[in-house]
């Protein structure tokens, strides 16, 4: 196997094995492992090397305090995000979203039309799916959309770095709908915008919710070639 082939194989293995983990073991990720994830993620490219991301991370009692406060906030307040959420899902985006939801619900025995069951599953977002840690990703508001794009690259680097170290993750836009609470809880200045969160820890591999997988569109359906 050539060096390039080995590198490609390693990258593909990480991409194939990473999932959005929705059930975790009750144990902390050592600080040195988290620092290694952060060190690797810091290599992310950004426009003009601005590196707009800032990260707030919880552990131990800090996670439990955040989890409890977040749950109480969600029950008493409407969603309010720093970035506008999708206006609507249409066409293929709507069908992909629906298929993903149905696969998730099926994995935990929630039948189509079970509003109580799907609502309870949605609330697990705000329980961090039981994860022992959460990372809050913010960007400088003056950098606008492209600052958020750079943060998206950082999030992907974080996910793959974590996967390479045996740490499971789930990126969560849902928590961005609680941006007011997050700003207050972490003391985040108004000049920064909450992009998303990443809950992470060691996967509960026996839980059925971690057994379902989503499909990816065929490359030919997302690429336009211009040859002349």
Task: From 160, 161, 140, 163, select the one nearest 150 (Cα to Cα).
Answer: 140
Domain count, the chain: 1
> Which is it for the CA torsion 63, 165, 193, 119, positive or negative?
negative
- Is there a domain that residue 5 lies in? no
- From the number of C-beta atoms within 10 Å of its C-beta (0-12, 13-18, 19+), residue 224 rates as exposed
Quick: pLDDT tens for 155-180.
999 999 999 999 999 999 999 999 99
- SS3 call for 203: strand
Give the domain range for residue 48.
18-211
- Is there a domain that residue 182 lies in? yes
Close Cβ partners of 96 (under 8 Å, ≥ 6 residues apart):
none
Query: Taking 90 as the threshold, does the pLDDT of residue 2 lie above it?
Result: no
Quick: pLDDT tens for 184-211.
999 999 999 999 999 999 999 999 999 9
The structure's pTM equals 0.95
Close Cβ partners of 142 (under 8 Å, ≥ 6 residues apart):
191
What's the CATH code of the domain at 58? 3.40.109.10
Distance of CA 193 to the CA centre of its chain: 16
């Amino acid at each position: 196997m050539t060096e390039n082939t080995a590198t490609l194989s390693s990258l593909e293995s990480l991409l194939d094995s990473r999932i959005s983990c929705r059930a975790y073991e009750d144990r902390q990720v050592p600080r040195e492992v988290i620092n290694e994830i952060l060190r690797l993620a810091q290599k992310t490219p950004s426009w003009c090397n601005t590196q707009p991301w800032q990260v707030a991370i919880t552990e131990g009692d800090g996670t439990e305090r955040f989890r409890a406060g977040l749950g109480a906030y969600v029950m008493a307040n409407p969603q309010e995000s720093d970035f506008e959420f999708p206006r609507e899902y249409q066409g293929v985006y709507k069908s992909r979203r629906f298929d993903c939801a149905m696969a998730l619900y099926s994995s935990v025995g929630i039948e189509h039309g079970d509003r109580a069951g799907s609502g309870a599953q949605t609330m697990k977002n705000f329980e961090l799916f039981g994860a022992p840690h959460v990372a809050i990703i913010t960007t400088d508001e003056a950098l606008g959309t492209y600052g958020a794009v750079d943060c998206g690259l950082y999030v992907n680097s974080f996910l793959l770095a974590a996967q390479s170290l045996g740490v499971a993750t789930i990126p969560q836009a849902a928590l961005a709908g609680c941006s007011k609470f997050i700003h207050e809880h972490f003391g985040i200045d108004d000049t920064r915008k909450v992009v998303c969160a990443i809950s992470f820890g060691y996967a509960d591999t026996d839980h059925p919710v971690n057994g379902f997988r989503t499909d990816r569109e065929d490359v030919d359906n997302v690429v336009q070639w211009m040859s002349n």
